[in-house]
Amino acid sequence: MKKVSEVKEFSYIGKRIERVDALPKVTGEAKYFGDIKLPDMLVGKILTSPHAHAKIISIDTSKAEKLPGVRMVVTSKDMPKTPLDFAQAQFNRRVDLFALASDKVRFVGEEVAAVAADSADIAEEALSLIDVKYEVLEAVFDPEEAMKPGAPGLYDGVGNNTPIYMPHEYGDVEKGFGEADYIFEDEFRTQLQYHAPMERQGCVCSWDVQGNLTMWTSNQTPHLHQWLLATILGIPVAKTRIISPYVGGGFGAKAHQVFPFHAICAVLAKKTGKPVKIELSRGEEFSFATTSPPFIVKLKTGVRKDGKITARQIRIIEDCGAHLYIAAGQLLVSIYFPFCHLYKVPNVKYEGYIVYTNNPNRAVALRGFGNPQVTFPLESQMDIIAEKLGMDPVELKLKNLFEPGETSMLGWKFESYGLPDCIKKAAEATNWSAKRAEKIPNRGIGMACLIHSSGYKGVWGSIETSSAIIIAKEDGSFNLYTDFSELGTGVWTVVQEIAAEILGARLEDINVLAGDTAFTPFDLGSYASRGTYSIGNAVKLAALDMRQQLFEVAATMLEAGVDDLEAKGGAIYLKKAPEKKSSIAEVAYHAHFGLGKVLISKGIWNSPAGLLDFFTGVWPSPGPVTSYPFGCQVAEVEVDPRTGKVEVLSMTAAHDVGFPINLDAVEGQIEGGVVMGLGYALTENLRHEDGRVLCDDFVDYFIRRAPDIPEIKPIVVTTDDPYGPFGAKGLGEAVMVPTAPAIANAIYNAIGVRIKELPITSDKILKALKEKR
Amino acid sequence: MKIELDVNDRIYEVDVEPRETLTQVLRDKIGLTGTKRACDVGGCGSCTILLDGQAVYSCMVFAARAEGKKVTTIEGLAQNGKLHPIQEAFIKFGAVQCGYCTPGMILSAKALLDQNLDPTEEEVKDAIAGNLCRCTGYVKIVQAILAAAEMMKKR
């Protein structure tokens, strides 16, 4: 098969293609779950705990039940007994998440009771009539305090509030540190970043008389959600329908997790026999507090005079709040990806602690999934090391990379390895060497790199699966069925392009039908940057199968062999005599009405990545991922030393995407990801005190507005990954991973202060400048 | 109380309470759900509509106060099935990702371009400063609005 970048004549792949979902969105026709209105629909509202840690003594719902317009009031006794995190039980070795609290509350905002009423006003009033008696307990908010003996315990049987402790060593770090000329030890801290999708969370539930449940919601993983919800409710999966085509931003907040409000809404709808809508207000979204879990990272690195890293050791404390959610996966990703594999280090040792606290954050996935939390320390420290050694950071980085095609100690192999290229291109585009030599006062330039994943075998059991179905209609138009919701990444257009390219059809002939479990096949959905890679591969397989079916029919019509045929622009023709052709429409018509064929094809993609051997800590090649995206970002900043304000002048982002299927979408992800990364670096912090979230609107929680964006230069690096569809790899998370350390390094280059705690706000800079003097 | 609202050149007679916002009435009573409600407290711009041609947050306007004024929502932009140049440009330049900020963003852009067909990049950014977007980083949105200005000048 030809190398993708050698094919000069793609019809759609690699071009700027208009999104298939853009028209419904610019006209306001696209419906999100909050736009759904059903007859007799009730409003559901949830009563949450005002205390960070308390015993529930009693709950009296009688007054609420009597309020006119209230249709149902529920507490934990009405909820399913199956824990909401049952699917993580094997990995976490415990369960801790239920729909409504029964004996204890462990954070401000924990769900305690719920009502369904005729209107929002009545539901709110009903909440105020529910009488909950609490016995307040001592709470703990500092994870390092929570780990100490004698700290208030959140759960019986979980010593030191530490449900998960993961230590491991590869090689011999003692020996490695012994070989080093310099040892660096630094501590870094990251904050709670909130996803802040524009569309708030919630759902609409409706049961029919036959016991079929339909849930409209905003969800990144419809099939996983379907299976989880059905299992929790104790109903057949086939009688559960999740409808979530348009998602107004996910970023991980809406992936593979049934939240309490989902289960509560389903139960309220069942008990009242009416549709129920629960929609978190923006204030409730902030206190609901889906965030990236904050990390405390102690990083120790040994380096030789010549710049070669000899050993690395890391200690991570991850505060998961009161429930584990998916904290463990993030801990492991942060260790295996940046810590073990951004650079080649012969001896590494890690210790990871996940700690319960009474903080309000829910440790769900957030773009990067632990990678930003450790890339920040790692790339900041590389800068510190480079300065000590008198080396340019670029030289230090290039010196410690893997060789292309090399297999790491852990069994990972990078078949496509664009990292050196990304570093060189980013340095060139920013005039790196000249700017570093320049030393303009208060201006600086800084660089940081990344490694990430395209899907990840091991996040969800032992599978990495996507599937697609294509049906050719009698007139040569196609229906393409995929589970994938459109979060805004552009995946619907990517699959449309891939199908059209392989089938030789026109783009407009491919009709993407997606995000509804009733008529789409099983898929893990959208997370771990697996979209283009996984569903792209599944669609590729389905399209190849369909192409074969069409060619077999066309071959009889054109009196040729299948191998003599080619397809392009909606027609199938003889390679050697292109004027001998039939349109796909004619072929499809003949198939149906001439031959009695029905044209259905399927594509099932199971990533050939490997599974971790928990005993040895090693993977079979190529590792948990076949196709690793890489990248390098360079920030240019100007710092005002009087105010501590950082102005980002430009961000240059070079990303190895394998091959860009839709150039506009790739640039869009880079631009959006960099801006979100700027927030992580400089302004975003879901502040909380004594367990209470202090932000409740976008004034307190500052995300960038149009006048605040710097110049952003995306550089697309292609490496023709052998596993990705048309050579493509993931991108959605990679774009946000190195932004914060690039900025931190640029700030140091500008004014000589190194901030090791995110976000890098002006008060921290001023304090550091003061200490410097 | 019964009021008459002129929305997208059509008169709607609706029964509203004094405290109901224009967002609530447009979405929940008239059924025009293109106007979004990402925060409902005047902090994000997703509810932006045009009131007598001026871009305003509909969540900050009492529905009753909109009586006697021309309300334009995203549904009113395309005329006879023909898209407005701003809508065309948003599609052409990849300025739409999750789409939730899009209706409000387009209307803020319209308010600007109806007054000024030669905006600078700074003026475009200022015009949409009140419209938050979490997905795009604004880059292609600004490009699309500048391109739409060119398209509108030609017509």
pLDDT bucket at A405, cuts 50 / 70 / 90: confident
Q: What is the pLDDT at residue A91?
A: 83
Interface test with A, best of B80, B98, B121, B126 (most A CBs within 10 A): B98
Whether the predicted pLDDT of A5 surpasses 80 = no
Categorize the per-residue pLDDT at A614 as very low, low, confident or very high, splitting at 50, 70 and 90: confident
| HEC-encoded secondary structure of A476-545 | CCEEEEECCCECCCCHHHHHHHHHHHHHCCCHHHEEEEECECCCCCCCCCCCCCCHHHHHHHHHHHHHHH
- The verdict on B121 touching A (C-beta cutoff 8 Å) is no
* B49 part of contact set with chain A, CB < 8 Å: no
pTM over 0.90: yes
Task: Give the mean model confidence (pLDDT) for residues B32-53.
Answer: 97
Question: Assign residue A261 a region: left if phi > 0, alpha if psi is -120 to 50, beta otherwise?
Answer: alpha
Q: Print the SS3 string covering B96-122.
A: CCCCCCHHHHHHHHHHHHHHCCCCCHH
Of A23, A668, A698, the CB nearest to B44: A698
On chain B, the residues whose CB falls within 8 A of the CB of A489 are 97
DSSP A584-609: HHHHHHIIIIIT---EEEEEEEE---
Mean pLDDT of A441-451: 98
Question: Do residue A28 and residue B100 have CB atoms under 8 angstroms apart?
Answer: no
Contact check, Cβ <8 Å, B75/A26: no
Q: What is the pLDDT of residues A638-695, one digit of tens each?
A: 999 999 999 999 999 999 999 999 999 999 999 999 999 999 999 999 999 999 999 9
Nearest CB among A26, A35, A703 relative to B96 is that of: A26
Are A625 and A454 in contact, with CB atoms under 8 Å apart? yes
Asked if B57 is an interface residue toward chain A (Cβ–Cβ < 8 A), one would say no
Say yes or no to pLDDT of A744 above 60: yes
A22 → closest Cβ in B90, B133, B134: B90
CB-nearest partner of B126 from A490, A676, A707:
A707
Shortest CA gap A388–chain B (Å)? 36
The strand pair at B2-7 and B48-51 is best described as: unpaired
Nearest chain B CA: its distance from A669 CA (Å): 7
Residue A3 is predicted with a pLDDT of 57
Q: Say whether A564 sits in a helix, a strand or coil.
A: helix
Contacts of A706 in chain B (CB under 8 A): 124-126, 128-129, 131, 133, 138, 141-142
pLDDT at A170: 96
Residue A45 CB neighbours (<10 A): 25
pLDDT tops 90 at residue A498 = yes
- Gap from B107 CA to chain A (nearest CA, Å): 10
Q: How far is CA A26 from CA A14, A19, A755, B74, B91, in A?
A: 24, 11, 42, 8, 8
* Cα A507 from Cα A497, distance rounded (Å): 7
Cβ contact A603:A616 at 8 Å: no
Chain-chain contact of A248 with B100 (C-beta, under 8 angstroms): yes
**Among chain A residues, CA nearest to B43:** A698
Which is nearest to A104 in space by CA: A163, A152, A46, A44?
A152
Does A50 score more than 60 pLDDT?
Answer: yes
pLDDT > 90 in chain A, percent:
96
Mean pLDDT of A71-77: 98
What's residue A462's pLDDT? 85
Is it the case that residue A8 has pLDDT exceeding 80?
no
Residue B134: its chain A contacts at CB < 8 A?
Answer: 196-198, 249, 251, 672, 676, 703
Residue A404 binned pLDDT confidence (cut-offs 50, 70, 90): confident
**What is the distance between the terminal CA atoms of chain B, rounded to a whole angstrom?**
43
d(CA A692, CA B77): 43
What's the whole-number mean pLDDT along residues A75-104?
95
- Assess whether pLDDT exceeds 80 at residue A34: yes
User: Residue A388: phi, psi to the nearest 5?
Assistant: -60, -40
Which residue among A250, A698, A709 sits closest to B137, beta carbon to beta carbon? A709
Contacts 24+ apart (CB under 8 A), B114-117: B114/B53, B117/B149, B117/B152, B117/B153
**Dihedral-angle region of residue A596 (phi above 0 means left; psi in -120 to 50 means alpha; beta otherwise):** left
Average pLDDT over residues A128-146: 98
- Taking only the tens place, the pLDDT of each residue in A543-594 is 999 999 999 999 999 999 999 999 999 999 999 999 999 999 999 999 999 9
Cα separations in angstroms, A495 against A130, A510, A513, A520, A532: 50, 9, 11, 14, 8
Query: Any chain A CB within 8 A of the CB of B33?
Result: yes
**Contact in structure between A27 and B87 (CB atoms under 8 Å):** yes
Residues A255-294: tens digit of each pLDDT = 989 999 999 999 999 999 999 999 999 999 999 999 999 9
C-alpha A470/C-alpha A481 separation (Å) is 6
B48 Cβ under 8 Å from any chain A Cβ: no
CA A764 to chain CA mean position, Å: 29
Query: What would the pLDDT profile of A450-493 be if each residue is shown by its tens digit?
Result: 999 999 998 887 899 999 999 999 999 999 999 999 999 999 99
pLDDT at B132 over 70: yes
Residue B133 in contact with partner chain A when CB distance is under 8 A: yes
When pLDDT is cut at 50, 70 and 90, the band that residue A1 belongs to is: very low
Confidence of residue A439 (pLDDT cuts 50, 70, 90): confident
Distance CA A707, CA A767 (A): 27
Nearest to A198 among B94, B96, B134 (CB): B134
Q: To probe the interface with A, which of B17, B58, B77, B97 has the most A CB atoms within 10 Å?
A: B97
State the ipTM, two decimals: 0.99
**Min Cα–Cα distance to chain B from A22, Å:** 6
Question: Which of A607, A634, A637 has the alpha carbon at shortest distance from A623?
Answer: A607
DSSP H or E run through A741? helix A739-751
pLDDT at residue A177 above 60?
yes
The answer on pLDDT for B117 being more than 80 is yes
Contacting residues for A650 by C-beta, under 8 A, at least 6 apart: A430, A635, A636, A710, A711, A712, A713
- Interchain contact B119–A (C-beta under 8 A): no
The beta-carbon neighbor of B101 closest among A21, A198, A281 is A198
Q: Which residue of A has its CA nearest to B136?
A: A672
Interchain contact B140–A (C-beta under 8 A): yes
DSSP line for A331-388: HHHHIIIIIHHTS--S-EEEEEEEE--S-S-B----TTTTHHHHHHHHHHHHHHHHHH
Amino acid at B37: R
Closest CA in chain B for residue A196: B134
pLDDT band, residue A773 (cuts 50/70/90):
confident
Mean pLDDT of the A502-506 span: 97
Q: How far is CA A118 from the centre of its chain?
A: 36
Average pLDDT, chain A: 96
Average pLDDT over residues A179-205: 98
Tokens representing A268 are 């309220």
- Contact criterion met (CB < 8 Å) for A706 and B129: yes
Tell me which chain A residues have a C-beta less than 8 angstroms from the C-beta of B103.
25-26, 28
Q: What are the CA-CA distances from residue A590 to residues A365, A509, A554 (Å)?
A: 49, 18, 9
Task: Say whether A246 and B125 touch across the interface (CB within 8 A).
Answer: no
Chain B residue numbers with beta carbons less than 8 Å from the beta carbon of A35 are 27, 33
How close A482 gets to chain B, by Cα (Å)? 18
Mean pLDDT of the region A213-228: 98
Instruction: Give the pLDDT confidence of A316-354 residue by residue, as tens digits.
Output: 999 999 999 999 999 999 999 999 999 999 999 999 999
* CA distance to partner chain A, nearest, from residue B145 (Å): 12
Q: Do B100 and A37 touch (CB under 8 A)?
A: no
Segment B34-55 shows an average pLDDT of 97
**Residue A6: per-residue pLDDT:** 58
B32 touches chain A (CB under 8 A): yes
**How far apart are alpha carbons A663 and A661 in whole angstroms?**
6
Q: Which of B27, B78, B99 sits opposite A25 (nearest CB)?
A: B99
Interval A702-732: pLDDT, tens: 999 999 999 999 999 999 999 999 999 999 9
Model confidence over A100-133: pLDDT tens digits? Answer: 999 999 999 999 999 999 999 999 999 999 999 9
